[in-house]
Structure 1
């Protein structure tokens, strides 16, 4: 809706009473539907000669106003000049200075060129010559222009927790399971509401909003200045499965509509199935064993472990435990055999070492000290001790079979 703002300002001493800046600007522009037009002009009373008209802007996040468009007389009395080059590529301007009756400055952004950078505060500044040839300025009050946008026609992104029933790939859950629902959508500007609704399997039942919303966040869809006023919304909810099935819908809506109402802008729908918890039947017995309900799933990607296993999983676990026990026993037996073999090899090597040392001693005594020829063939150490004239007494051996040195006294 367009609003015309008329302001009476006294910004310098010497200003003639009755000077008014006529400033026309919309308070709101719908992107893709409306054009943005801003016009500035002096009132007919109180001004003598218009030297300059300026349209100034302060965007979101900026602290000061800057001139985006101006017209100066002289020497360019009828040629508006864009001070913001980006604005000049998508807008048109008209204006002139000089005589009060014909002085004005206007800015127009076409429908298909309006973007988030136009979401700003604007004001008009007029520089004029007084009756005494002095230079005076008059500035209008600011006008805030808000850019609005409808939500994107793209359906919301909607997901549920993974199924917790073995062998299923769709949204199948055990009754008693608390699942997580995540919905995200572009919701326009200002941000529209987002909700998750549930409808039971019986289509005659009315929808009801999902309970226990954990997260509701609103963020810009882009960091680009031309797009940062368009918003996205994400909600995270939980729901406990109690029925045999039904549907969930994620809806972008205004705050007054109800689930499935007429004022829903867009939605996404997902089906789900609920089944009773499996029962383990004991053979040759009349008692059925029933497990307790599964614990809650707190995140979408959480893998459910603990109490939510069926009888097939339990049987598989028992078989696996027995197999591990048998493998453990085999490994222990093999370890014992290897240990015994290593002990036997150690004792055998020790005996061989001792025999080698005795043979070396016998050969040395016979060849060097007593006989330059070949050594006689002895069959045992006893042959050495029976010939005291030819051989000295053998050195003693310690407990490990090593030779203990002794003094040699030949006869």
Structure 2
């Protein structure tokens, strides 16, 4: 018969192990399923977040309708879809269907991505979408100053309450609005305020509840750690190599919203740049309207491609970090869907590795 002392010791060890697992997830003592998860932007690397989601759902790190989630751009779609009951594989199929439409339609995705997504997103969102994500999902936007003619110094706008399905849909198609890429104008509007992609004004400090980056699981798809400077190949990554494979960074964030008079948004000076697509039309404007993104590496990222090993091979060739990052704006021509499968698997593997490292085992 097991002694009372042995039973007590076993119970103590189990409790200690559970506490250690919770603490390792962002140094938090919160119970699994309640630790906030923040997803940054992704552009066309969106299937990475689908893979991450599948793993975190499997291991109980994310519990739909309970876990506080936040995101911008592709990360906002991911968190919203999770709380609406979708898993990683269903999200992957949703995004593949949109990219498949792009490859088969004249004009492709550039400038038309939100348009290609319109009907499918309408079907993906239930009538009560606003009620389902209320209190558990926050979407980050970059609000613009309507009194200027540039997009610089946008303000962090975090949306946590939604009026209805239309409001949710509008927030999603605003947080992903990369000028002249997601749509065919320089900016869009949300609640009649001029806005662009959430990545221009928000990083993890804005996404994590209360700015508590220590007790928040941070996920990024474009950030590749120190691999970014190791594989700047002038042949395979000519465009990024021209700038030394460096991304522009906005280190300061603006937390106070602009006092735009939303009744007259169509008469503000900002309207002067509304239809200046493509980007070449920006010439002659000073300062240049295209702002810098808030960097992914403003804090330690928990889950990102390449953290636990090399990037995945693709089409029989090792994938360079600069190639991976270039896929965010242009997936490999003719093999877009195959690349999305590889990106998904990388996200799943990285998230499983993180779970194993932090005590979220089956």
Band of TM-score, shorter chain? under 0.3
Q: TM-score, normalised by structure 1?
A: 0.18
Higher RCO (CA-CA < 8 Å; seq separation 6+): 2
Name the structure with the higher helix share: 2
Which of structures 1 and 2 has the bigger CA Rg?
Answer: 1
Name the structure with the higher strand share: 1
Q: TM-score, normalised by structure 2?
A: 0.20
